[in-house]
Amino acid sequence: MGSRSSHIALIPDVEHIRRETGFSQASLLRLYHRFQALDRDEKGYLSRLDLQQIGALAVNPLGDRIIDSFFPNGSQRLYFAGFARVLAYFRPIDEEDATLRDPKQPEPLNSRMNKLRFAFQLYDLDRDGKISRNEMLQVLRLMVGVQVTDEQLESITDRTVQEADEDGDGAVSFLEFTKSLEKMNIEQKMSIRILK
């Protein structure tokens, strides 16, 4: 296999990444191989262009926003630790892990609350802690495309913001966002089974 060996020791900082993400060593090794496959030029990091080659992201209406989440603070390079960290949000929640969790440790990246934080930031483009009507409209437009008229889309946006906006400020805060999704099985909807 040459430079693309299957040995876990080749992963830089593997034990730290395992503790932070909750991934098993076998899962980390699979993810590392995927990371290497995406890094066609063997640079040791991924660029936005590398992630745009992933078919599922290319066809996802929120693909660009998801890709942005891999590059916080305007960074241009994604190393393996960051790659694994973002994918950890999509790791299924293991009920056994939840009951054995040390309360002094940080909440796992794949917890319900962290999954909601991740989803919220896909909407909150300006990072002001609120989803404005305009931000909601942009996301809905991406999701439905040309299937509805602009008037219908504006009506859906207004109704969505109105239903979630408990304090009447015309925007949806993170707390309001979590309340509006309290009946949704976010744990299942934001999980990718292969990421155990």
**DSSP per-residue letters across 63-75:** HHHHHHHTSGGG-
Q: Is 41 exposed, middle or buried (0-12, 13-18, 19+ CB in 10 A)?
A: exposed
Q: For residues 162 and 173, what is the distance between their CA atoms, to the nearest angstrom?
A: 12
* 96-125 mean pLDDT: 82
Element (H, E) at 172: strand 171-173
Q: For residues 196 and 135, what is the distance between their CA atoms, to the nearest angstrom?
A: 33
Do residues 84 and 141 share a domain? no
The predicted pLDDT at position 118 comes to 93
Which CATH number characterizes residue 26's domain?
1.10.238.10
Do residues 24 and 72 share a domain? yes
Do residues 85 and 17 share a domain? yes
Q: Is 28 exposed, middle or buried (0-12, 13-18, 19+ CB in 10 A)?
A: buried
Domain count within the chain:
2
Using one digit for the tens of pLDDT, what is the confidence trace for 123-140? 998 999 999 999 999 998
Q: Does 81 fall in a domain?
A: yes
Q: Does 6 fall in a domain?
A: no
The predicted pLDDT at position 98 comes to 54
Report the chain's mean pLDDT, rounded to a whole number. 87
Q: What is the span of the domain harbouring residue 69?
A: 13-89
pTM of the model: 0.82
